[in-house]
Structure 1
Amino acid sequence: MVSQADRDAIAAAIDEAELTELALTLGNIPSRSGEEKAAGDFVHDWMAREGFSPRKVGATEDRFNVIGTYGGLGVGKNLLFTAHLDTESPTRNPDLDIHKYSPATLADPEWERCWLENGELRGYPIANDRGPMSCFLIAAKALKTAGYGLAGKMYLTACPGEIGPEPIEEHSGIAYLGKDIGAHYLFHHGGVAPDYAIAAEGCDFGWTSVGCGYAVFRLRLWGEGTFTPLLRHPEVAADHPNPIYRVGKLTDAIHAWTRQWEAASRYESAGGIAEPKVQLCAIRGGVPFQFGDGTEVVSLYLEVGLNPRQKAADVQHALEIMARAAGVGRVEIEPVVVRHGFEAQADEVAPLVGAVDAATRLGLGHAVERANPVYSSMWRDHNVFNMHRVPAITTGPRRWRPTPKDLADSALVYALTALEICGRAEVGEAVQGSSVYPDNPFGP
């Protein structure tokens, strides 16, 4: 059992100013998806200085996972913390960004810069996800500083590619890999064996063991290319041979379908509420510098959220029915990205949720609550571990513009949770036995 005295000792070892500086320093290292190397190097070097024996494990030289450990001194459960190095951002390729962002949006300094203003930490990199990452790094340091050894292992991991991108069409190959080289690669090739996992992300101090997936469907609307001087325009756009003129009718049908799909997809369990959402994310058609005969095809790209019980095939069938009923002509529908959602088994994840609740009560003075549905209606990397039967949740500090105290409070909850799950051991104690076979005649 973790006591008030434990709480006080660990809290005293958390230096709020150090944590703030770490979050700001790490947050101000440019780390768009595909460009995580500098941030990964920083985390690796920080872990090395603090004695957490880090390793780099990656599918490519520049996009690696960083894995450190603390504890493993006796017989106890292993708890893995993970957070991602990449941050959402424009591509900074002007030929691409001009088709997605306004100049004012591109100029927003919070995309890639972090600072403390009026007591709040500003910047997307702090919010997602290097603020929570800094919290579990400092949590491990606080346990070590306060003299708490852990029987089980506390894995400290930083991953590339959680946000993206995804290989689609000509944007394919290793350069466009996202999730496949992050926590997925870490799990399979990182030398980790967690009993439980926490995806450290802003959850406003709530928790959820539910995670949504998503699929991106390409709806290819076909028509006829006609030499412009020969065109005879029909009475209504829906009868036009150029499929661009029929996009409006198709998007109206997609919009109506979206409302029905979202309402039917709401999912609630003991681990959280999922409310998957749908949105058109791109459109392609024709070649602008070859404009003499319109185009024969227009492609719409539809992002569809998937609750933990839904499959891409469910969406495929529903979209095909919708397209036939829309009466817009030939439409080919194909998923170009598929990632299913997952959730932990309630009984299996209960010890981890109980430890977070006990840590929150002891550390912050109140019970932990299930997170807002928005946090269980998106992809987070607890999905990777629940996919592989490792009970996992996502939990963390205030998501948007946290205060230094928010980060310190989260670090305390993470540290107390690790102490509860992993169990305490005397620093320097040798490993004894096996957590699976404590009386294993073949040795530990």
Structure 2
Amino acid sequence: MSLDFKNLPEAAYAVSEDEVAALAAALDKEEMTRVALELGNIKSPARGEAEAAEYVYQWLSKEGFRPRKVGATPERPNIIATYGGKGDGKSLLYTAHLDTESPVGNPDEDALKFRDSTLEQREWTECWLENGQLHGFPIANDRGPMTCFLFAAKALKACGFDLSGRLYLTASPGEIGPEPIEEMRGIDYMGKEIGTHYVFNHGGVSADYAIAAEGCDYGLTWVGSGYSVFRIKLYGDSVFTPLLESPELASDHPNPIYRMGAAVQSILDWSRKFETESRYECEGGASYPKAQIASVRGGVPHAFGAGTEVCALYLEVGLAPNQQIGDVHRSLEAFLRESGIGEFELEPVVVRHGFEADENKVKPLVSAVDLATRLATGEPLKRAAPIYSSMWRDHNVFNMNRVPAVTTGFKRWRPTPEDLVKGALIYAVTALALCGRAKQSEGGTAIKPVYGDNPFRGGET
């Protein structure tokens, strides 16, 4: 489903054919591949982003961008650099995250979640080029797109295309988590608060527009979903095992662990209903929230002898941008009461709402990305698949603060070195079209996007 523009503003700056050619020539595929692999092969799980942050800092320093480290803790800094800002053009911020989903490296904790064979997968922390494709989760999420916008800025600088507006380059920790829950509390377990949230509030940035650079298969969405985690505590009675008289039905057992089966079925019934009723679509994307039990806890295994009085299930629930936590809380609580699962307590221990950009205010940004995508790929921009707008991405941080933001990026799975170059060219042309040249040069044929009626015609990619 391609974009069909009408009534959109033209790009702030009409990018010329000569400028596009110069930017493309400035992008070195081999160098980009080398940097993406070097950066991707740095182990950077959640809470362990320092070495990857240092690599980005040193790269930006070497390329003359004068980066800064801004963070809630020195161990988990955000890296921020600025290019341009020589006139009164609009500013654009690129953000990507340094952390990548992976086992945490603590054998005791990892054994609670993963099979041994899963822990042995190379792609958690290792990246390589094979048969023309880039392998490894760190490049796919999210240091490949990060490499793209770093080289986009390098290309603009190498071509002497100074920008009227400011271009911010930010690499942040904490986008994939974790979240402080139960005894895992305090700043050591902070996730999003110390990442892009921190950049927005304390990073010295004043973006007019923002792009979360992440794999979107060259699509774009200005919708972002949120999520919550509900703790469902089941209560019962502790009975000394030698005195216990086991009932026929698990539902009659004093130990609440025995009621988990009925509770799980009730949660699944509610989840299916919730998922059906929560689908949300707008011009900028589709959000399909899902729900799944993430964890189960009950009793103390080394202090046995009388069962337990408390056990808990932890339910992850996605949130579309039109949903509020209070409504979801009431819906789940009423359903569980009616299900008759016995004494329970429900509490949302994590809440992050989803957001979407204002359709009219985001149009200049969408227009610039469309122009850049057409020039880099030969194809019109498409609305990103629902998966990319049904999860948290850091464009939420800007949309919640009334800064129009989107997420867009190259091929998510098994990108190629050519995808790195295309992604960088898209980001470079987008910045040039949106921020404008500080001192426009003569020559070249102006390339202007073709505008239609609607950012998105409707339908899916």
**TM value normalised by structure 1:** 0.95
1:29 aligns with 2:42: yes
Q: 1:138, 1:46 → 2: CA distance?
A: 10
Alignment check: 8 A CA contact 1:40 1:158 kept = yes
Q: CA deviation at 1:4?
A: 2.0
The answer to whether structure 1 residue 58 and structure 2 residue 105 are counterparts is no
Measure the CA separation in 2 of the matches of 1:122 and 1:86.
17
| Counterpart contact for 1:385–1:391, Cα < 8 Å | yes
Aligned to 2:32: 19
Hey, what's the Cα distance between the residues in 1 that align with 2:425 and 2:221?
19
Deviations 1:58-107 (CA, angstroms, capped at 9, x unpaired): 00011111001111111200000000001111111111111100000111
Q: Unaligned regions of 5+ residues in structure 1, if any?
A: 428-444
**Aligned residue number for residue 202 of structure 1:** 215
- Code of the aligned partner of 1:226: V
Q: What is the distance in 2 between the residues matched to 1:332 and 1:297?
A: 10
Which residue is equivalent to 1:271? 284
Bigger Cα displacement from structure 2, 357-366 vs 184-193? 357-366
Which amino acid in the other structure matches residue 334 of structure 2? Answer: I
Whole-angstrom CA distance in 2 between matches of 1:144 and 1:79: 16
**Farther off after superposition, 343-352 or 45-54:** 45-54
Aligned to 2:346, the other structure's residue is in SS state: strand
Shift of 1:384: 0.2
Task: Please say if 1:351 is aligned against 2:361.
Answer: no
Give the one of 124, 132, 136 matched to 1:123: 136
Q: Measure how far apart 1:426 and its partner are.
A: 2.9
Out of 124, 146, 155, which is 1:111 matched to? 124
Moved over 6 A (4+): none
Tell which has more relative contact order, 1 or 2 (C-alpha 8 A, sep 6+): 2
> Could you say which residue in structure 2 is the equivalent of 1:132?
145
Q: How many residues align?
A: 428
Answering whether residue 350 of structure 2 is matched by residue 308 of structure 1, we say no
Matched residues in 2 for 1:426 and 1:19: separation?
A: 28
What does residue 256 of structure 1 align with?
269
User: Considering only aligned residues, what root-mean-square deviation do their CA atoms show, in Å?
Assistant: 1.1
Determine the structure 2 residue equivalent to 1:377: 390
Match of 2:412 in 1: 399
The one-letter code sitting in structure 2 at the alignment partner of 1:241 is P
TM-aligned CA deviation for residue 230 of structure 1: 1.7
* Equivalence for 2:299: 286
Does 2:338 align with 1:325?
Answer: yes
CA drift at 1:235: 2.2
1:314 Cα shift? 1.4
Q: Post-superposition shift, 1:239?
A: 1.5
CA distance in 2, matches of 1:298, 1:221: 5
Between the aligned partners of 1:253 and 1:169, the Cα distance in structure 2 is 24
Q: Does 1:219 align with 2:232?
A: yes
The residue type equivalent to 2:333 in the other structure is E
User: More displaced, 106-115 or 224-233?
Assistant: 224-233
C-alpha separation in 2, matches of 1:97 and 1:315: 31
1:400 aligned counterpart, secondary structure: coil
In percent, how many aligned pairs have the same letter? Answer: 61
The answer (yes or no) to whether the contact 1:4–1:362 under 8 Å persists in 2 is no
Name the TM-score, length of structure 2 as normaliser. 0.92
The answer as to whether partners of 1:26 and 1:130 remain within 8 angstroms in 2 is: yes
Deviation per CA, 1:335-381: give whole Å up to 9, x if none: 11111110000000011001100111122111100000000000000
Q: 1:6 aligns with which of 12, 19, 32?
A: 19
What does residue 81 of structure 1 align with? 94
Q: Give the counterpart letter for 2:19 in structure 1.
A: D
